[in-house]
Amino acid sequence: MKITFKISILILLLLSFINYSLATGIPLTKSTVVKTETSKKSEDLLFEIKNFRQLSSVFSSAGMPDLNDIEILKQNGYQHIINLIPGGFDDEQEKIIALNMSFEQIEVDWNEPKLADFQRFVELMKTYSREKVLVHCRLNYRASAFAYLYQTTQLGVDDSTAKQTMHTVWQPEGTWLEFIKVVQHHYQEK
């Protein structure tokens, strides 16, 4: 009799839990719950990358990601990384390629950025179409300037909106302010 009573209680609890699950949409399996929590954590970790800025659903800029950050980018659907820093980045490139992502480098001289550098960036972005891209440099200064210019000259984003995002990272001056003007002038003539 005691065993039958315990089984009946267990069945009632199980049925109550099933009804609750159906009514609220909360899944019954632990693995589904864990996946949801992992996805949220992975997405949150993007914002721990130095000066990470999500500019659209498929385009972001940031400072230099470390090798663990590259895995987080992959988990969040990023397929392409564009590095704007001159020099050798073998470890970064190897990690990115090992994760079946693409790595491109445009060596943008901090003291002498060129229109050709930005034009190469535009070519790459066109080839990536609607796939997720991260452009980065050391602190997201070069990258945010390129992102600002790409948004305003190629995507038709309002200048003040794009500039406001760039200014959350830095406010270009000197050489970089002149570079921005050169690029804008070039694309206004087209």
HEC per residue, 101-148: CEEEECCCCCCCCCHHHHHHHHHHHHHHCCCEEEEECCCCHHHHHHHH
Q: What is the pLDDT of residue 134?
A: 98
Residue 43 to residue 35: CA distance in whole angstroms:
12
The total number of residues shown for the chain amounts to: 190
Closest CA to 102 of 86, 80, 120: 80
Residue 61 to residue 80: CA distance in whole angstroms:
12
pLDDT category of residue 41 using cuts at 50, 70 and 90: confident
Phi-psi region of 51 (alpha: psi -120 to 50; beta: other; left: phi over 0): left
Q: What is the mean pLDDT of residues 147-168?
A: 97
Task: Decide: pTM greater than 0.85.
Answer: no
List, for residues 78-93, the tens digit of each pLDDT value. Answer: 999 999 999 999 999 9
**What value does the mean pLDDT of the chain take?**
86
Q: Structural domains in the chain?
A: 35-189 (3.90.190.10)
Residue 96 to residue 67: CA distance in whole angstroms:
9
| Neighbour count for residue 100 (Cβ, 10 Å) | 8
Q: What is the pLDDT of residue 42?
A: 82
Residue 181 to residue 34: CA distance in whole angstroms:
49
List, for residues 94-146, the tens digit of each pLDDT value. Answer: 999 999 999 999 999 999 999 999 999 999 999 999 999 999 999 999 999 99
